[in-house]
Amino acid sequence: MYRRQYPDAPGPGSNMGDSHTRVTYRRNPNFFERIGNSLVGILVGLVLLVVASALLFWNEGRAVQTAKSLDEGLSVVVSLENIDVPFDHNNGKLVHLAGPLKTQKSLSDPTYNIRVKAVKLRRTVEMYQWVEHESKREYNEGGETRVEKTYSYSQEWRSDLVRSQSFDNMVGHNNPTSMPVSSQLQTADVVHVGGFELSEGLKGKITDFKKINPSAMSPPTDPNIQMLEGVYYHSYYPLQPQIGDLRVTFEYAGISGESLLGQPDTVSIIARQIDQRLLSYQTVAGDVLEMLYTGRLSPKEIFEKEHQQNTIITWGVRFGGWLLMFVGFGCLTSIVTTLVDWLPIIRELVAAGVGMMNLAFSISLSLTIIAIGWITYRPLLGMALLAMAATPFIMSKFRSNRMDSRRNV
């Protein structure tokens, strides 16, 4: 394969300002090369089918195990009326409690004169940088393909460091190689609800971040930093930033004391009590229970939310497994369309037929794998899914028999 390049050639739709188009030519593979690629696709397809089948089977076992663990947790959970005094007779039990968050110390950032009574304080740093955008068009020109890549450049606030060394055109598009200030997440060392101390896992579930109100912020101690509408700028002209300027925003999660941020957040927790600590609870079914939700919720409401989340995850993985399976069948059957791709009309008909066949096979095999995963736990539902998976083949056989009977008549 050879490749010719024509750099910086203007293409359709490009402007001669801060953009340019690079044109290359790529030789199209011949018939035997396409057959070789299709054979490689068959191997890739087989791997995808194995991965998709394993993923679907594992997902069904995970879904059933999680559902059993949640039902088990609901049946044994103990609701605590008095959350200020941890009683010894609840040690080792799965308990439910609700109350306001409390922390011993405020979280602070001296550079920006920030201090909040919260469980978490997040500092997000963005730099004004050049960003390269690439768009590609391909045109088949007989024995070769014309590839047009158009590069354009814009100035944007980005939280990640954009490496201008990899730009197609570095002239006039140079970014700093490092950020003088980095993003940061602070978490309170000790967090209480009543007389109970939260585990790291429970603190990790406090993720409802909110931007700090400008009225609760103080001017920075550094005179080179300016504050505008609750955002700190390392810039001489915040409204007209230059490459390399920084802007810093602060967010908090879990108000843990009376302050300018408002009243303490109330959370509902289900976890295992060990003395004065709340830790994860291991179920007999095999899962770990450790739940925290904002607001005052009953145990039943919390477990219903967990069941809903389990259902969403289950169907998301099912869709992902089916999609992998559909792509796998597409790789397996790519050789069929390759054999007829030199006949335009037949190629389109064959591609449509093969696509429908791949769709039917992927749905049927997905349902079969899901049914096999369920048979162990839900035999009736598993058998019903197997019947659904076999429906396309039964209908195909039925139609074939009808056609044969008509011919005999």
pLDDT tens per residue across span 10-27: 333 333 358 899 998 888
Rounded average pLDDT over 65-71: 94
Q: What is the pLDDT of residue 12?
A: 35
Are both 230 and 287 inside the same structural domain? yes
Q: What is the pLDDT of residue 265?
A: 95
Are both 57 and 94 inside the same structural domain? no
pLDDT tens-digit series, residues 25-57: 888 777 777 788 888 888 999 999 999 999 999
Domain boundary among 297, 321, 355: 297
In whole angstroms, give the CA distance from residue 73 to residue 277: 18
Nearest to 358 by CA among 319, 315, 325, 318: 325
Q: Give domain status of residue 344, yes or no.
A: yes
Residue 188 clears pLDDT 60, i.e. is over it: yes
Are both 390 and 276 inside the same structural domain? no
Q: Give domain status of residue 363, yes or no.
A: yes
Name 180's Cβ contacts closer than 8 Å, sequence gap at least 6. 234, 246
Q: Give domain status of residue 75, yes or no.
A: no
Residue 178 clears pLDDT 50, i.e. is over it: yes
Q: What is the pLDDT of residue 398?
A: 59
Residue 368 clears pLDDT 90, i.e. is over it: no
In whole angstroms, give the CA distance from residue 72 to residue 226: 55
The CA-based dihedral angle spanning residues 216, 221, 225, 231, taken in that order and rounded to the nearest 10 degrees: -10
Q: What is the pLDDT of residue 28?
A: 78
Domain boundary among 297, 326, 350: 297
Are both 231 and 380 inside the same structural domain? no
Domain boundary among 241, 263, 297: 297
pLDDT tens-digit series, residues 202-259: 999 999 999 998 877 888 878 889 998 889 999 989 999 999 999 999 999 999 988 8
Are both 290 and 224 inside the same structural domain? yes
Name 46's Cβ contacts closer than 8 Å, sequence gap at least 6. 328, 332
* Residue of 171 and 31 predicted with greater confidence: 171
Q: What does R_g of the chain's alpha carbons equal in angstroms? A: 30
Q: Give domain status of residue 24, yes or no.
A: no
Are both 86 and 60 inside the same structural domain? no
Confidence band, pLDDT 50/70/90 cuts, at residue 2 = very low
In whole angstroms, give the CA distance from residue 376 to residue 343: 49
Are both 113 and 253 inside the same structural domain? yes
Q: What is the pLDDT of residue 11?
A: 37
pLDDT tens-digit series, residues 311-323: 999 999 999 999 9
Are both 225 and 361 inside the same structural domain? no
Confidence band, pLDDT 50/70/90 cuts, at residue 140 = confident
Residue 3 clears pLDDT 50, i.e. is over it: no
* Residue of 198 and 360 predicted with greater confidence: 198
Are both 109 and 195 inside the same structural domain? yes
Confidence band, pLDDT 50/70/90 cuts, at residue 372 = confident
Confidence band, pLDDT 50/70/90 cuts, at residue 6 = very low
Q: Give domain status of residue 147, yes or no.
A: no
Residue 346 clears pLDDT 90, i.e. is over it: no
Q: What is the pLDDT of residue 5?
A: 42
Rounded average pLDDT over 48-72: 93
Nearest to 62 by CA among 385, 315, 325, 299: 315
Q: Give domain status of residue 152, yes or no.
A: no
Are both 323 and 394 inside the same structural domain? yes
Q: What is the pLDDT of residue 378?
A: 63
Q: Give domain status of residue 12, yes or no.
A: no
Rounded average pLDDT over 82-88: 91
Q: What is the pLDDT of residue 391?
A: 61
Are both 191 and 108 inside the same structural domain? yes
pLDDT tens-digit series, residues 274-288: 999 999 999 999 999
In whole angstroms, give the CA distance from residue 338 to residue 315: 34
Confidence band, pLDDT 50/70/90 cuts, at residue 389 = low
Q: What is the pLDDT of residue 16?
A: 39
* Residue of 347 and 128 predicted with greater confidence: 128
Confidence band, pLDDT 50/70/90 cuts, at residue 9 = very low
- Domain of residue 240, residue span: 80-127+157-297
Residue 399 clears pLDDT 80, i.e. is over it: no
Q: Give domain status of residue 18, yes or no.
A: no
In whole angstroms, give the CA distance from residue 55 to residue 99: 40
Q: What is the pLDDT of residue 409?
A: 53
| Total number of domains constituting the chain | 2
Are both 252 and 357 inside the same structural domain? no
In whole angstroms, give the CA distance from residue 4 to residue 29: 16
